[in-house]
Each structure stands twice: as structure tokens, then as C-alpha cells.
A = this chain, B = another copy of it.
Amino acid sequence: MEVMSVDDANTRAATSRLIERAVGEDDLATVHDAIADLDVEHIVDVLERLDRTDRAVLYRLLPKDCAIDVFERLDPSMQSELVRGLRDDQVAAIFADLEPDDRVELLDELPATVASSLMRGLPAADRELTATVLGYPQRAIGRRMSPTFVSLRPDMTVEQAMAAVHRRLDDAETVYTLPVVDDGRVLVGVVGLRAVMNADSGTLVAEVMTEPYWARATDDAEEAARRCAELRLLAMMIVDNEKRLVGILTVDDALRILEIADSEDQARMSGTEPLRSPYLATPIGSLVRSRVVWLLVLALGATLTVQVLEVFESTLDQVVTLALFVPLLIGTGGNTGNQAATTVTRALALDDISPRDIAAVVAREFRVGLSLGLLLGGVAFVLTALVYEPSIGAVIGLTLVSVCTLAATVGGAMPLVARTIRADPAVFSNPFITTFVDATGLVIYFLIAKAVLGI
């Protein structure tokens, strides 16, 4: 989603297409001139639309200085793929220029041998910093934090603090949020550069610092990043179990983590495995693989409905009209369930509720589902009674009431159950609820039908 006038967008797109074509035809001169005046963001867009080989070609043509900026913007999977296409010295150069946290992200993607040889190539200081980050488990925030921060002492004067900041302007990850630690490196506070600049030079850091927001280095990376974003922090402090400061998570890194996490959640909610590379750059085969497993699982679940219908085949045989409403009934059940699941999942993500509230949630969703069922069931009864006959109308109406109530209650409870058993609420939710509601809904439908129609 870009913010620019239509003509800007068109010229951009034109340039993109020009480059894509030129790369395809190996007309490198044209490419070279074309990329000269593109901004980093635009180059990334173009790279993401090219296939593996063309991407390597284009990347090699980038001017040194912007090459690294571009590299940092690419998905790790794409970075590792690029690296394989470059000469060792080129790779070593890029690797040395990366921030420790970006370096680790890349290492995770590379074959162990390549990774270790790259590590050996690093200057001792960088290697040490990278090692500390590498020390934390895969999904932990310690793995994604930056170990290069400026820390102040509570007994420093503001003047000394500013001096400390000036010394680290070149290498620190950020100088806008400044952690304050005691002699034992334990985090005791945090202060914004602005507050420091705004105090008299004699003031002590202790007087201007505030309570720090922090996460443990072993905490889940996504949760830490989400908290950093929700608290609207420019940076969150990362500490070890003794609350010693070990790193800092800047909002831009938090956003990178969340961008990836959110596309994963969204993918899983609709029953696909998340893509590791941009859509157009993903081979058809991978797209199929990312979806087929879930489809099979869901289809397998759906065979439940076949079995249910088989049980009631004789009933269907007597009143074939009943078959007409099956899609409508299970469809409505599924929609009601998804509505509840999405609302609750979102409330969980926003911290509006916690698994502790399950009783309250179930109670609310039961009432919501019942109300929805009565509304829809009422409408359905009238219509079907007119078009077909009152008895059929009664069956449809009663079924909708029960199915909506069931679907909303189950749909509302599901995400909380998922969270409690530490499963991803997104994964657990919609498709599964649908499958469940389909099967149970049909049973309810036919039981009501048998009762009302007396078959």
C-alpha cells in the first residue's frame, strides 16, 4: 500500500517493468542506468518480483552502499538464497556490515558449514556480540534483540550522560532510548534522550529516569515485540533472569518480527502454511504444498458429515426436501462460529481478555448465539413455512436456533482453550470450528426433523 499520486505510482511501475524486462534479456547496461536513481524501497519491490536467478543478477549490479541497505530489507529466506548466489568475499563483506541481530537471523537460514565459516570471518568484537545473541533459543526475543546499546548509570550527571551518548553515536543500535543500570549491570531505569537534553547539565540521571518496560531474553519474540508495539515504545529493554540488561529491542525490529508473525497467523487462520517468500517469487509447487496438507486434513474432517448423512440416509430418502437446506444450515453455523472465534481471538491479541475469562466469554457467546439464532430462525421459519410447509419451517427454524447457539459458544471458547494449551489460537480456529459445527449441526438437524415430522 503506497502513498503517492497515481502518476508517481505509474512511473514507478514503469521503471519496475523496464528493469524486469532488461534483467530478463540480460541487458545489464540498461538495468545499471535504471537502478541508479531508485530508492532502496523501490529496489526491494523489484527484487521481490524477480525469480531466483534474475534476482541474483540484479543484486550484483547494485551500488555497494545501497546493496547492504537493500539486503537488510529482504526476508531472511531471500537473503540466504541470495548469499548462495554471491562470491564468498562478497558474502563476507555483507555479513560484516550487518547488525548482530540481522546477522543471527541470516545465520539461522544458512547451512551450518556456511554459517560457521562466516562467523570465523568476523572481527573478534563482532563475533562476541553475535555469539551472545546466538546463545538464546530460536523463538526467544534474545535472539532478535540488539546487544549494542548505550547504558547510563543513575549517579551520572546529565552532562556525563550526553558525553556517553556522543561516544556511541556511530555504533549503538539507538541513542533515543537510554537504559540505566547499576554496578551489577542490573536494569534500574530508562530515560529518553529528549529528557536528558531537557535537564540541566548538573542533574543526576537518577532524577530524570523512569520505570523501564522490559522483557526477559528468553521470552517469546512475538509476544515481546507485540508488547513493545502496544506500549508505543521506541525501544524495550531485554534482561536476563537476574534482570541484568543484555540487549535492547527497537520498535523497527519489533515491527519486523510482528510483520512476519502476523502473516503467519493470518495464513494459518485460513488453513495455509505461511509463505517464506513474496507471492510472485514463490514457485507454484510451494504454494500447493503450503495448502494441500490443511485441505486434506479439513476434507478428512468433512468426511464426518458424509458419515452423519449416511446414518440419516433413510430419513433423507423419505423427505428429500430436507437435503435442500443442508448447505444453508451448515453455512450459517460456520459463519456464526467464525464470527465468535475471530472476535475472541482479536480480544485475546489486544489483551482485552485472558484464558481466565473463559466462563464470562462462554456465557456471553451463548447469549449472543441464542439471540442470533432466534432472529435468523424466526425469519427462516416464516419464509420456509410460506414456500414449503409449516412443519419444514419449524424444523429449519429450530435447527438454526440450536446451531447458532452451539456455533457461537464453541467458536468463542475455542481460542481460549487453544491459548490455555499453549497452541496458536489462530491455527486452532476457523476451519476446525467449521468442520465441527458442520457435523454436529447435521445431527441436530436430522434429530429435530425426525421429531417434528415424526419419521
Binds B, one of A85-93, A98-106, A429-437: A429-437
Residues of B near A234 (CB, < 8 A) are 176, 234, 251-252
Residues of B near A361 (CB, < 8 A) are 279
A interface size (C-beta, 8 A) = 120
Q: Are A328 and B353 in contact, CB atoms less than 8 angstroms apart?
A: no
Q: Are A255 and B229 in contact, CB atoms less than 8 angstroms apart?
A: yes
Query: Does A372 have its Cβ within 8 Å of any Cβ on chain B?
Result: yes
Query: Does A112 have its Cβ within 8 Å of any Cβ on chain B?
Result: no
Q: Are A323 and B316 in contact, CB atoms less than 8 angstroms apart?
A: yes
Contact with B along A329-359 (1 / 0, CB 8 A): 0111001101101111011111111101100
Closest to A366 in B: B284
Smallest beta-carbon distance A287→chain B, Å: 5
Give the most central of A296, A336, A346: most B CB within 10 Å.
Answer: A346
Q: Are A170 and B198 in contact, CB atoms less than 8 angstroms apart?
A: yes
- Residues in A232-253 with C-beta less than 8 Å from chain B: 232, 234, 251-252
Residues of B near A360 (CB, < 8 A) are 280
Q: Are A336 and B169 in contact, CB atoms less than 8 angstroms apart?
A: no
Binds B, one of A115-123, A126-134, A301-309: A301-309
Q: Given that A197-B166, A280-B360 are contacting pairs, would A372 and B291 also be in contact in the complex, using a CB cutoff of 8 Å?
A: yes
Query: Does A266 have its Cβ within 8 Å of any Cβ on chain B?
Result: yes
Q: Are A343 and B287 in contact, CB atoms less than 8 angstroms apart?
A: yes
Contact with B along A181-194 (1 / 0, CB 8 A): 00000000000011
Q: Are A255 and B280 in contact, CB atoms less than 8 angstroms apart?
A: no
Binds B, one of A25-33, A56-64, A152-160, A215-223: A215-223
Closest to A219 in B: B3
Residues of B near A328 (CB, < 8 A) are 299, 302-303, 305-306
Q: Given that A278-B347, A330-B327, A351-B45 are contacting pairs, would A364 and B287 also be in contact in the complex, using a CB cutoff of 8 Å?
A: yes
Residues of B near A350 (CB, < 8 A) are 259, 263, 278
Smallest beta-carbon distance A411→chain B, Å: 10
Q: Within the assembled complex, what's the spacing in Å between the Cα atoms of A353 and B232?
A: 29
Binds B, one of A200-208, A268-276, A447-455: A268-276
Q: Are A292 and B375 in contact, CB atoms less than 8 angstroms apart?
A: yes
Partner of A368 from B284, B338, B349, B357 at Cβ < 8 Å: B284
Q: Are A376 and B296 in contact, CB atoms less than 8 angstroms apart?
A: yes
Partner of A320 from B49, B317, B339, B344 at Cβ < 8 Å: B317
Q: Are A295 and B166 in contact, CB atoms less than 8 angstroms apart?
A: no
Residues of B near A375 (CB, < 8 A) are 288, 292, 296
Residues of B near A232 (CB, < 8 A) are 252, 255-256
Q: Are B267 and A343 in contact, CB atoms less than 8 angstroms apart?
A: yes
Q: Are A5 and B438 in contact, CB atoms less than 8 angstroms apart?
A: no
Q: Are A372 and B288 in contact, CB atoms less than 8 angstroms apart?
A: yes
- Residues in A307-323 with C-beta less than 8 Å from chain B: 309-310, 313, 316-317, 320-321, 323
- Residues in A36-71 with C-beta less than 8 Å from chain B: 39, 41, 45, 48-49
Q: Given that A295-B339, A324-B306, A431-B335 are contacting pairs, would A194 and B223 also be in contact in the complex, using a CB cutoff of 8 Å?
A: no
Residues of B near A338 (CB, < 8 A) are 270-271
Q: Are B313 and A324 in contact, CB atoms less than 8 angstroms apart?
A: yes
Shortest 10 CB-CB contacts between residues of A and residues of B: A232-B252, A279-B347, A270-B342, A305-B327, A278-B352, A3-B215, A323-B323, A302-B328, A169-B198, A309-B324
A-B contact pairs, 30 of them (CB 8 A): A1-B222, A1-B226, A1-B351, A49-B352, A176-B176, A176-B194, A230-B259, A232-B252, A232-B255, A232-B256, A234-B234, A262-B262, A266-B346, A270-B343, A272-B339, A278-B347, A279-B346, A280-B353, A280-B364, A284-B364, A284-B368, A292-B371, A295-B336, A299-B328, A299-B335, A302-B332, A313-B320, A313-B324, A326-B326, A331-B435
Apart from A165-B197, A176-B194, A306-B325, 9 more pairs, CB < 8 Å: A1-B226, A1-B227, A3-B141, A176-B176, A263-B350, A272-B343, A279-B346, A296-B376, A296-B379
